[in-house]
Structure 1
Amino acid sequence: MDAIFYILLFVFGSSLGSFYVTTAERILTYFYGKKRKTGDWKTRLVSIATIPSHCQSCGAKISSFYLLPVFGFFFSKGRCRHCHTKLGIHYPLSEFLFGLVTSLSFYATDSLLFSISTTFLLGHLVISIFTDATYFSLDYENLPFILFFGTIANFALFGALPGLTELYVFLGFGFFYVLIYFVVKQGMGLGDVFFAPVFAFLAGHPFWILFLNTSYTLAIVVTFLTRKKGESLRGKMIPMGVYFSIALFFTYLAKVMYYYLGLEGFLEDDYES
């Protein structure tokens, strides 16, 4: 019975992964890309939620058999069955990651609420990654969902809602990023000013240190390794929303490890202080 339950958790998580990756791609198309001027925003929002899964190249509807999480990609041999366009490997990889996160987070915490809320949180982080990586833009409508599911995940893990400590973290990050935004010319995007304090708030104390260090370390390393030969890093645009999102996900993994290793009492004291 345990094995069946974990299989069901994996299927649920991988299905959510498929949904969120598809949603992220549709947001790019209908709100940032070639169809951003098609009808009003309500029409485009309905299109995102209701249009059946289809090939991005030829528009052909994808049959249910090939929509199976993870395996559907390999059943189709990684190509559209109509136009034979090669599909991205990110589809099965993201589905597998979501399924793994859902099942392993439950294994480590024994909390179904944490497992599900963390999976939804990851989905909305993926949307932020897609929009910022493609257009250097963070979707503000996505932020309340991140805040909601992140707060629920924290509550499920530690049994307490954010307190004064988290508020201080939020205010500290908010003041710091607003200051950078107005003082340093082109040093910070407005989306980062809104997103970074909320992400730090969700990370909480002392995990905000891990969140901050991880995000900027990733940004520096990836930017350095992917730059063109001889290209200066000065003035180079960096999609910090991508690295903030990845860092917040790693932060929640660290929280799970603390919980799993039996150190949650230390963290609960911080939440109650």
Structure 2
Amino acid sequence: MDFFYVFLVGTIIGSFLNVIIYRIPIGESIISPPSHCGNCDSRLRPLDLIPILSWIALKGKCRYCSSKISYRYPFVELLTGGLFLFTYIAVGIDQKLVAYLVLGCMLIINTFIDMDHFILPNIILLFGLIAFVLLTVFLPFISWRDSFLGAFVGAVPLLILFLLTKGRGMGPGDVKFMGVIGLYLGWKLSLLTLFLSFILGGIFGILLLATRIKDKTDAIPFGPWIALAAFISMYWGSDIISWYLGL
């Protein structure tokens, strides 16, 4: 039953992440007005807001105007529920659990915002920074030295790339994003995240160019690949590093 409750809490948090993903980039408050249909502006009732199940029961349509509701809403809820469950299984009742859940939520938010708007909002990164400080004070899960080194080795290479390309190869948001991630992961996992993000982003970029979905002049967000690399490092980073050193 513990697994069910952890997953359930994750889906509820995922529903709130949907609000953040939609409202932050357009400058709306995440508190007011209450949840409403983006088409007819009808206020949503509790039965309309049950994670995943409401979307299925309504067949992906608004109860009041029958406009389509994006599949992304249940997907983010399901993804966040999976994040909570998988992290709970992987970490257990440990001080890292809360830290990794906070980091995971930030990764999900920034992934979808960057995909839609090509930005990584400062307010989300600031939240991640403040949450890190509070967690380190009350639930210390990593040394300050390792955190600062993680932020340094994560952000500085991207900062150099940003300066050398004058912002054409990397955005300032990516630099700050990687710096905040480094605080949570430490220098070893931060380096691994950086390495994996370039590999993942490079492979995806080549596939887009090869299939002509994108051309050389199109911008491709890098934030999602940083986030995916960070997820891999969170769960399997130590094993990957041990495997590599053992070669």
Scaled by the length of structure 1, what TM-score is found? 0.74
Say whether the 8 Å CA contact 2:90–2:235 is kept in structure 1: no
Matched with 1:245 is: 227
Q: What letter corresponds to residue 219 of structure 2 in structure 1?
A: M
Change beyond 3 A, Cα 1:114–1:208: closer
What is residue 11 of structure 1 aligned with on the other side? Answer: 8
Assess if the C-alpha contact under 8 Å between 1:151 and 1:202 holds in 2: no
1:180 to 111, 136, 161: 161
The verdict on how the C-alpha distance between 1:9 and 1:62 changes in structure 2, with shifts beyond 3 A counting, is same
Residue 169 of structure 1 contacts residue 204 of structure 1 at CA under 8 Å; is this kept in 2?
yes
8 A Cα contact 1:24 1:130, kept in partner = yes
Q: Please give the per-residue CA displacement for 1:131-170, whole angstroms capped at 9, x wherever unaligned.
A: 322222110121132234467778999x643343443343
| d(CA) in 2 for partners of 1:151, 1:51 | 30
Deviates more, 1:171-180 or 1:210-219: 171-180
Please list, as runs of the form range in 1=range in 2, the aligned pairs for 1:1-273 lying within 5 A after superposition.
Answer: 3=1, 5-29=2-26, 31=27, 44-45=28-29, 48-111=30-93, 114-149=96-131, 160-185=141-166, 186-227=168-209, 229=211, 234-254=216-236
SS of the residue aligned with 2:31? helix
Give the conservation status (yes or no) of the 8 Å contact 1:121–1:146. yes
Render the CA deviation track for 1:42-75: whole Å, top value 9, x for unaligned.
xx43xx2122211222212222112111211111
Asked if structure 2 preserves the Cα contact closer than 8 Å seen for 1:16 and 1:95, the reply is: yes
How big is the shift at 1:213? 2.4
Percent sequence identity over matched residues?
24
Q: Work out the number of aligned pairs and report it.
A: 239
C-alpha change, 1:136 and 1:210, in structure 2 (3 Å) is same
User: Which is higher, the Rg of structure 1 or of structure 2?
Assistant: 1
Change (3 A) 1:138 1:153: same
Give 1:126 deviation, angstroms: 2.4
Q: 1:20 to 1:231 in 2, by over 3 A?
A: closer
Give the residue type in structure 2 aligned to 1:126. I
Q: Partner amino acid for 1:171?
A: F
